[in-house]
Amino acid sequence: MLKTLLVIPPKYGIDYPPLGTPALLGYLKSKGVEAEQVDWNMEYCLAFDSGDSGDINKNSPYKHLLPDKPASEMPYNDNTYSSFFFTERILSSPLLFQFINDSKENPFHRFILEKKLIDEIIQRKIRILGLSIISPSQVIFSFTLGYLLKQTGLKIHIVIGGQWVSLYKKEILKRNDLTAFFDSAIFFEGETPLFRLICELSNGGDLSNIPNLIYKPVPEGFNQGTASGFSLSESHSVEKLNDLPCPDFDGLPLNKYSTTSDGKVSLTFETSRECYWNKCVYCVDLPHPKQGYRVKNPSLVVRDIKNLLQKYPLKELIISDPAMSPNQMRGISREIIKEDLKIQWWCWTRLDKHWTKDIFELAKKAGCRTIDFGLETASQRLLDFMQKGINIDIAKRVLNDCYDAGLEIDLQMMLGLPTETKEEALETVTFLVENRKLIKHVTFNIYYLTPGCLIHGNPLPLISIILRRAALYMEILRNMALFLKTIFRHFNFS
């Protein structure tokens, strides 16, 4: 079968490796596919990112597509060519192709040429190139690499996948010009579709039968270039987690991630897919309709953890499940204790009424050190409006149980929720202050609307409420910075 290279594109975080390409690599290898992976994001961030963190050229022809605010006032402190803001605007701009091919202004163009990434692809004898696009900030690099690779005339099939593709599937299908950057795109889960794509391309088969695929029809076997526009496959696949092998992190620069210390590495891992609650109206995960919550049997989870412990100098596991359920935590903790595994881990979850101190104590004994709860707001009205399924009094009980069990508590909070008032924002501030002894760390996220969420699908009720509360809503936005400054001035959330 055709050799495949999986790529983590810039620009993304470098705390620890994302799970996308390791999960795909493990699956492909289990099927006998010759495949490798590289993290060009790490190389970019460590060796090439100075231009992206500095000021944009004042005479840049693309400056009008950048935010007019300083980086400190933008989400993720980013107002550069890799920002979400710029990516969204350049993709819908007539300047897209000019920017992609601009070796002076496009930092990713310069990076590709200076690091000779095309030559590296040729040397690896790659026939299929997979680009994992988790975030909008990775789109411009991926499109630039695809464009430059296609200019060489090499017979390499370029496939993109990841969260961004799933969120913008409908928009991709409308853009015939995107065929200049890639040949196919996989939405939702990628293991089975990518394996099937490799098989069909290796045998000159029919791409229309591959599930979860946006593809450019290939008129002459494997020869690209004459077809125009994309088509959508009619079949769909959902992975069975118990059938998936352990992720494979080979080929990634594990010693360079910022969470690596004393030769020990932190790796991402999953025990389930999607959220067992799956009702929050703002959810930024896969667009609706979703595929359904699925868990991996705890005994198979422990099998995979053993595999990782044997292969890598493992410091901790970051369990990336959108929300680990109480039942899943109980089952996995029991298996870890039963097998006497020495492993540290932490996870994300909800402030669910089914959490008990006994479950937290069991998890602590099994190596869990921190639980990151998604609370978002302490206003009961907003929790109900957002369909969080959280009662604030129960949330307080759960936090106390978790703390008493000896686990560290992180909280995810959200600012600027639709219809939020000044008084409700102060409710959240008061809650954090009153419970500060329980909380190790608080992350404040800025609310933003994503395609495919429940609000996006039915915005009229929300719009009517916002209009009725317009004055209060604007007031909370104006005072947002003041609230944050007050919290950090008077109370120390480390």
Yes or no: say if 114 and 144 are a contact pair by the CB < 8 Å rule.
no
- Position 53 scores a pLDDT of 44
Model confidence at 135, pLDDT cuts 50, 70, 90, reads very high
| Mean pLDDT value across residues 275-280 | 92
Instruction: Indicate if the pLDDT at residue 175 is higher than 70.
Output: yes
Mean pLDDT value across the chain: 89
- Name beta bridge partners: 232: 214
Structure token digits, residue 371: 């639980």
Q: Which helix (H) or strand (E) holds 319?
A: strand 314-319
The β-bridge partners of 186 are: 161, 213
Where does the pLDDT of residue 427 fall: very low under 50, low under 70, confident under 90, or very high at 90 and above?
very high
Q: Cα(205)–Cα(143) distance, rounded to whole angstroms?
A: 26
Q: Is the pLDDT of residue 43 over 50?
A: yes
Residue 252: the pLDDT is 98
Percent of the chain with pLDDT over 70: 86
Report the SS3 class of residue 420: coil
Which residue(s) pair with 349 in the sheet? 373
The residue-averaged pLDDT of 182-204 equals: 97
pLDDT classification of 447: cutoffs 50, 70, 90:
confident
Query: What's the token pair of residue 128?
Result: 């299929």
Question: Residue ranges of the domains in the chain?
Answer: 4-232, 259-490
The CA distance from 215 to 112, in Å, is 25
pLDDT band (50, 70, 90) for residue 225: very low
* pLDDT at residue 191, as a whole number: 98
Q: Are strands 184-186 and 213-215 parallel, antiparallel or unpaired?
A: antiparallel
Q: Does domain 259-490 have CATH number 3.40.718.10?
A: no
Distant-in-sequence contacts of 336-339, Cβ < 8 A, 24+ apart: 336/302, 336/305, 336/366, 336/367, 337/362, 337/365, 337/366, 339/302, 339/306
Mean per-residue pLDDT for 102-107? 94
With a cut of 60, say whether residue 333 has pLDDT above it. Answer: yes
Look up residue 51 and give its two tokens.
Answer: 């231009």
Instruction: Dig out the tokens for 182 from the structure.
Output: 């890639």
pLDDT for res 489: 58
**Where is pLDDT greater, at 284 or 411?**
411
Whose tokens are 């853009």? That residue is 175
User: What's the pLDDT band for 470 if we cut at 50, 70, 90?
Assistant: low
Quick check: 95 pLDDT over 60?
yes
The answer, yes or no, to whether residue 493 has pLDDT greater than 90, is: no
Range 197-207 average pLDDT:
94
